[in-house]
Chain A
Amino acid sequence: MKYMILIHSNPQSREIWEGFSDAQRAEGYAEYAALGEDLAASGELIVAEALADASLTKTVTVTDGRTIPSDGPFAEAKELLAGFFLIECDSMDRAIEIAARVPEAEFGLVEVRPIMDLSGYDM
């Protein structure tokens, strides 16, 4: 089963991150690095990426066949996607266990979503 672990950020989490000392930030990076290495070693990691700052986002709209990019994410969005892990593991329970190791989980900013597959059934 494939799962996407989505890591969000919000104004509070950004504030906390920015208030961190260098040592605290280094610790945060180390936790991410360790998680990435463990998942690669166990063969569960498919891909993991951190997203660039939301200010670099473009929202894309196509009107009458014309593409209109505008600066920034959707206006209403408070919680913004900051990064993700795409993993393959044996169960949702295992995916939750992995997600719990993401530092942002302390702030309730981590989501696990199952990925759709091509399985079919004979009825």
Chain B
Amino acid sequence: MSTALAVEGLLRELAPEVLGALVRRYGGFDTCEEAVQEALLAAAVQWPKEGVPENPKGWLIRVASRRRIELWRQDSARRRREETVALEAPPEPEPAAAMDDTLTLLVLCCHPSLTPVSQVALTLRAVGGLTTEEIARALLVPEATVAQRISRAKQRIKASGAEFRMPTEAERPERIAAVLHVLYLIFNEGYTASSGSRLHRVELTGEAIRLTRQLRERLPEDGEVAGLLALMLLTDARRPARTGPDGALVPLAEQDRSRWDGEGIAEGVALITETLATAPIGPYQLQAAVAAVHDEAATFEDTDWPQILALYDLLQKMAPGPMISLNRVVAFAMIHGSRAGLEQLTAAEADPALAGHHRVDAVRAHLLDMAGDREAAQAHYRLAARRTLSVPEQRYLESRAVQLGP
């Protein structure tokens, strides 16, 4: 069993390198991708039984190259093309370039012509080395839906004329930002879908962390890549305490901090501390810094709120957004009191993105609760509970309303 698991890990590590090598050599991302998937499947069946070949990457490249030629032939026959192109024995794999291939592949899978859901599916398959079935289970959608998203995404990439190359200096910040966003989405998808049939699900948070680590190896100087990795580690570290035995959501204030993952916190804190000291500052780093302040507090009462407020003030300047404003209001109230917080909340609500948002009601309920206005707090908890789209959140908000009495 452990052999099969080890093989699976190895295959997923090698998947982007093999695909990168093929696309770089032959072009035609869509056909290469299909060929690599088939080579990975063949290896997943053969290797646990027959042993891992001496040069696993070379083996995969050879099998995938052969399969690519077959696919190419079928395709050519279909189109009645008569050209005879040199299709002899597949060449030996070239050394090096593996690092850049994985990065180039990530950038390609997060191409701006694709929708976010397609970017996520394609990245998980082409870079993550997951099968369509595994992706479908992880995303809680049918396999046919995922297969279609992937095939459509490949068509789009082809139609857009995107090439398998590193983005130019000018394109680079935007393209890397798109990659980070997709990795962030993958992480969140896994972090949020924390209940339900977990048994057979690929752990998407772990997958996002693995891919972000890979990216960081390729871009060690990039502060935002490090920031995102730190944010994921520091958030994921709280997961063991985030849900109670009955599956209900436990808010930060009430979490049993002894259940937090100390190793993850230590790694995240070290990473964000080093990054903030050396790299140009960015939004992921600031969010990671907020997470680090929370994670370092021994109790909720020990939380360094002035520090958190300062970080949210910075975030609001750098990357303003409705959730940033709301979190800032909470930090403000923790320092200046609930009444002052409620005033700030009313001001924040002027943002059209927050008008009628259930989180505004949730924060208002919380602040009214702190201020001792039980009746009004209860009404706003109920309102927020009705409007949320999240089942665990609804459960939590309803139970807060009930706790405030009849």
Contact = CB atoms under 8 A, between A and B. Distances in A.
Secondary structure dominating the interface of B = helix
A118 B148 contact: no
Contacts of B146: 43
A40 B390 contact: no
Interface in A94-123: 114-123
A121 B390 CA distance: 9
A56 B392 CA distance: 36
A118 B196 contact: yes
Given A42-B152, A88-B141, A90-B117, A118 B251 contact: no
B194 interface: yes
B362 interface: yes
A46 interface: yes
Interface residues of A, number: 21
B391 interface: yes
A46 B145 contact: yes
Contacts of B253: 123
B117 A88 contact: yes
Given A42-B152, A90-B115, A123 B145 contact: no
Nearest to B327: A123
Contact of A46 (B142, B362, B391, B392): B142
B389 to A, nearest CB: 5
Nearest to A87: B145
A41 B151 CA distance: 9
Interface of B: 115-118, 121, 141-142, 144-146, 148-150, 152-153, 188, 191-196, 235, 238, 242-243, 249, 251-253, 330, 359, 362, 366, 388-394
Ordered nearest first, which 3 A-B pairs have the shortest CB separation? Answer: A43-B149, A119-B192, A43-B148
Interface of A: 40-47, 88-90, 114-123
Given A47-B142, A120-B194, 4 more contacts: A46-B142, A116-B388, A120-B390, A121-B393
